[in-house]
Amino acid sequence: LLCLTLLAVGPAAAQTPTNGWISPTTYVSGNPLVADSAEYNIEIIFRGTNWTTPLKEAFIRSAEAMSQYIVGDLPAAPFAGRMIDDLTINAYLQAIDGSGRQLGVGTYGVQRANGLPISGTMRMDQADAPRWDSVDMFDDLVMHEMFHVLGFGHLWAQKGLITDQATNPTFSGPLANAAHPGDALIPIERIAGSAYHWREVVFRNELMTTSVTSYINNDLSYMTIASLGDMGYAVIPEANYVPPPFI
C-alpha cells in the first residue's frame, strides 16, 4: 500500500533586493550578481519629494561608477541603528543660495576606525539643477560632490597626504603621484587656508579642480581615482580604468 501525503506549497517568499531600487526612495549601487561583502556599495536615500527622474539618474550613474572604481569592500559598520555596507548618502534637492553660485555640497559624516566614511550628505541647489541637467552637466556636479563624500580633499590632512599646506600645498600620496604626468608632487588649490581640490590653473578641466564648468568637457583622470587608493580604498588598476562616459 502506497500512501502519499500532499503538502500545501505556497509561493516562494520574495527576497528583499540588495542592489538597485530597494525602496521607492532608496537606491544601492553594485553588481546584483556579486555579494555585497565582496564589492563597494553606495546607498543613496533621496530625501524630499521634488526629485525628477533625470536628476535621480545622475546620482545612480555616479554611484555605479564609484562601485566600479573602488573594488574592495569595507567592513559593515553601525550607523543610525543599522549596519551600513559600505556608504550611505542622504541626498537633498533644496534651496542653497539661488542660481549661479554654490551648485552643491558634499560632506562625509560618521567615519570608521580607519577614517573612511560610513555616511555622508549631498545637497544640490534646486535653483541650478534643472539648468545643468539641460546641458548634460548635472552628472558632473554630482560626481564631483560624491568624491567629497568619499573624503576627497576633506580627509587629506587627516590622512597626512598634504605637504606645505600653508604656502604651496601639494598632494603626497604615492599612487596618485605615480599617475601624475609631472615630476613634482601634485599641486593643490589653496582657498582661505583650505586645500580640497586639484589646482585649477594646472589641471583646468579635471573634474576635481575647484570649478566644474559648463562650457568645457570635464575629465576624470586616473590620478583622481588613485588618490582614493592613497586614502585607503582599494581601487581599480590604471590598466583597467575607463573614464565614465557621462562626464
pTM: 0.90
Nearest partner of 129 among 214, 60, 236, 244, judged by Cα = 214
The CA distance from 13 to 81, in Å, is: 26
Radius of gyration of the chain (CA): 21
Mean pLDDT by 10 residues, the chain (247 residues): 37 56 95 92 96 96 98 94 96 80 86 97 91 90 96 96 92 96 90 84 92 76 98 98 94
pLDDT digits (tens, 9 = 90+) for 180-196: 987 799 999 988 767 89
| H runs (alpha helix) in 12-93 | 53-69
Among residues of the chain, what percentage have pLDDT more than 90?
70
Beta-carbon contacts of 229 under 8 Å, excluding residues fewer than 6 positions away, are: 173, 175, 176, 235
Contact in structure between 92 and 126 (CB atoms under 8 Å): no
pLDDT digits (tens, 9 = 90+) for 91-123: 999 887 766 666 788 999 999 999 999 999 999
What is the SS3 assignment for 114? coil
pLDDT digits (tens, 9 = 90+) for 174-184: 999 999 987 79
The neighbour count for residue 110, using CB atoms within 10 Å, is: 14
Cell of 111: 567615519
- What is the pLDDT of the chain when averaged over all its residues? 89
The neighbour count for residue 40, using CB atoms within 10 Å, is: 24
The neighbour count for residue 97, using CB atoms within 10 Å, is: 11
